[in-house]
Amino acid sequence: MAAEADDPTAASATLEKFRLYETRARFYVIGSSREKRWFRVLKIDRSEPSELHLSEDPVWYSQQEVKSLLQRIAEGNRSTGGLTFVTKAYGIAGCIKFLESYYLILVTKRRQIGCICGHAIYCIDESQMITIPHSSVQTDVATSKNELRYKKLLASVDLTKDFFYSYTYPIMQSLQQNVTSAGMKETPYENLFVWNTFLTEPIRSKCHNALWSVALVHGHFKQVKLSVFGRELNVILISRRSRHFAGTRYLKRGVNDHGKVANDVETEQIVFEEEAGSWKGRMSAIVQMRGSIPLFWSQEAGRLSPKPDIFGK
């Protein structure tokens, strides 16, 4: 992290804390490094009812410079209501559009649940979905029955349950993959286990980076510390559920036309010494894969439960 503090343009630079501001015409997302020493600005247009227009300011700002920038934005928009603080966040989980408006999905509360070789792992405690277009440009479709139904369906996906992520450690990959690919510049969003690949694509494609979004993995993460003959060890169990062909057992079975089996899960056990950090020290990991039988098959669910005839001797 020291390299990031000195050089924000380094490949390892990350944005971990965000503040969302709004004017009548735009949203401004201010992202900062962990130490709040360097800042970036993402501008999201609010004048289009059904299109997503955003742009990233390529400049890395200091704390004083970003304060000055916000003051100038507030002054320039005084006649239309000024600049208003909306919420703080810890990452963008994605953008989505149903019938008309785009929505911004934010991680508004997080909790650290583990640490792998000095890299913090977080889960989501709270999330928030914010409508991007200003209310003055929205049509009746934005408040239609179908639009509200789709929003309710998305809200039923509980991001606070079994989702986890990291800013600096590619948690969607095994320890062996991460050790052999140390120094990788971009988070592998096309990975089998990143569940919000589609949701984050509009932001990643327009900004040409993954600074603003977090890659969510669905499954299980548990870390405990053990002392064995005076040696401090960390034991981690990670289960990563594939985003392809997932569903309940009676609806998703076998393999689909793309060769993806139902409910494919990768489970990894990692053991490393307490002093190990940034790939130093002794580490051990084992990976196990499981999934449905790779055959085309299904089961019809019916109310009839035929009872076989029983014949006595």
pLDDT at res. 167: 95
**pLDDT, average across residues 236-255:** 87
pLDDT at res. 232: 84
**pLDDT, average across residues 199-219:** 94
Indicate the pLDDT class of residue 305, thresholds 50, 70 and 90.
Answer: low
pLDDT at res. 195: 95
pTM of the model: 0.86
**pLDDT tens readout for residues 37-95:** 999 999 999 999 999 999 999 999 999 999 999 999 999 999 999 999 999 999 999 99
CA distances (Å), origin 233, targets 222, 227, 237, 279, 286: 14, 6, 13, 15, 16
pLDDT at res. 1: 44
Spatial strand order in the sheet of 163-165: 92-97, 102-116, 119-131, 163-165, 217-228, 231-241, 265-273, 283-290
The residue extents of the domains of the chain are 2-290
**pLDDT tens readout for residues 88-132:** 999 999 999 999 999 999 999 999 999 998 899 999 999 999 999
Say how far apart CA 191 and CA 165 lie, in whole Å.
13
Report whether pLDDT(277) > 70. no
Say how far apart CA 174 and CA 236 lie, in whole Å.
12
